[in-house]
Structure 1
């Protein structure tokens, strides 16, 4: 029986999901270009070594905790936002909650920009499906893995325009791999933590850790899939969390900012930011409970900042006369963006569930 076209579409999505630090045998059996993609990720990692240095320059390795938040506040105040960001202009700037997230100043915009630049340059079509290969041709164990993923995704992805979704998914995955690489190089004490998961409300349970600061990853195919709270309704996954104290566990009581990263073509939905704000209100209660000393016994009124980083609109910009780099990029990507806006909203939810 021939494999339906929709199933092949999901297989291609799954193949992108299994592009991890070292691509496995499953990808090699289904796809050509695996070796090249692996090398491309390697080159991207070399690019972000300067990001690692920039983080070390901004926050010394042995910084005192009492100084760390003050330095984050100083970096936030000096955030090199561009015009699109300061005025909440362009993609997604239609809702008050989203506008506030766009305009929110954050530290490390330079570092985030450099990582996203590297992820954006990774060729998105390195992988090509091998002709004549079907699910039935795969060994039983590997076929079972695919079937388990497919059983949870075919219905959800029925209306998704796969081509555009693949590009977004691959860039998001590349960015995650690079942020995780930065964290590893900093002995898992980077203030930038990617794919931080929180359980469903009202408690929003914290992401499990290994040791003091390393986030637990359960995925054998994709390090970020499944997440610890994968199948719990209402759970959320932050693209990036900036910790107040990078040598402490990245949990609700240690959030300086949540940064949602959106590459071009990815949907921006107010409901997602409402969920983040709900979690941050819970984080404020946790911080209040932990506070040994409170000014006039007042509770902590914020669990952290909430920022939307749209790539490339919100990249770091330095100098008053520097041209807006996002404009040229947007013109090149305009046909792709118009196509994406016609896509089903299910694509974003599928990505956030790790499919």
Structure 2
């Protein structure tokens, strides 16, 4: 006999199917050659990041029992002294400076995604000499590339990576949508685009760092929910508040504080380890230390 959650689950599945069909209709407008080219590039990039991060993957495989919080101790946070737009570094200072475990590995993935993003054709209509003509442009999919890379690492670790790319959560119940095994995020997209579309009412942080990687990525097991922003994509207060609400526990002492402390903002390349801004900050810190 179905329980009280059955109608909710049914609506989620129905919404996912309708969104999936809409996405398939969009993909069907591409030629078979374009889709084949995109699929081939995705496969190539997944293998590429596995090769680039081989040492990291091997280390994570050995440290499977180690909590993520252990690795947060050595992280000094992002560069809140750097602003890309307006008062961004002040408005989101606490999220930027949040300690994020595995920042070097995350930085490496994001830097590769920024420098060598997967590109996809997109048809648009333009007015040329008074006539509307259809043309094709190429768009760089930086966030999609980064998510694919994180997923490739997770797959290489048999879905026991501490880094979960765009995991889905029910916005009302805050429950994670688990795949098989339970440490694998459930997807609703296509083989070419697994992360999109997602059913209405779901929230998916760009990256979630779990505390215990052998357990599902339910919010109580999340150490950090990381919003990643590439150039041209700006931090948004409403979006950050949604993630804080998602990560806020229902009970306990000062749940609002706990929820806020689980959310982080990582701007690429400003908050990545090894960037020019990062090197300048290291130099400044070293000069200040020498003067003391």
Provide the TM-score with structure 1 as the length reference.
Answer: 0.58
Structure holding more strand per residue: 2
SS of aligned partner of 1:256: strand
2:51 paired residue number: 49
Structure 1 residue 274, shift from structure 2 partner: 1.0
2:270 pairs with one of 299, 313, 334:
313
The question of 1:111 aligning with 2:105 is answered yes
Structure 1 residue 126, shift from structure 2 partner: 5.9
The question of 1:75 aligning with 2:97 is answered no
How many matched pairs? 245
Aligned mates of 2:117, 2:73 — CA distance in 1: 35
Aligned mates of 2:102, 2:180 — CA distance in 1: 25
The question of 1:100 aligning with 2:94 is answered yes
Structure 1 residue 184, shift from structure 2 partner: 0.4
Structure 1 residue 180, shift from structure 2 partner: 0.7
Unaligned runs of 5+ in 2: 1-22, 125-135, 283-292
1:238 pairs with one of 205, 208, 213:
205
Structure 1 residue 261, shift from structure 2 partner: 0.6
Q: Are 1:276 and 1:306, in contact at CA under 8 Å, matched by a contact in 2?
A: yes
2:20 paired residue number: none
Aligned mates of 1:77, 1:185 — CA distance in 2: 26
1:350 paired residue number: none
Aligned mates of 1:109, 1:214 — CA distance in 2: 21
CA deviation string 1:275-305 (max 9, x = no partner): 11111213x63xx5xxxxxxxxx67762552
Distance 1:211 1:273, change over 3 A: same
1:260 paired residue number: 227
Aligned mates of 1:209, 1:40 — CA distance in 2: 22
Q: Are 2:61 and 2:157, in contact at CA under 8 Å, matched by a contact in 1?
A: no
Q: Are 2:95 and 2:265, in contact at CA under 8 Å, matched by a contact in 1?
A: yes
CA deviation string 1:155-184 (max 9, x = no partner): xxxxxxx979x43xx111111111111100
SS of aligned partner of 1:241: strand
Aligned mates of 1:321, 1:217 — CA distance in 2: 35
Aligned mates of 1:198, 1:189 — CA distance in 2: 18
Aligned mates of 1:172, 1:90 — CA distance in 2: 20
Aligned mates of 1:41, 1:115 — CA distance in 2: 16
Structure 1 residue 121, shift from structure 2 partner: 3.0
The question of 1:179 aligning with 2:150 is answered yes
Provide the TM-score with structure 2 as the length reference.
Answer: 0.70
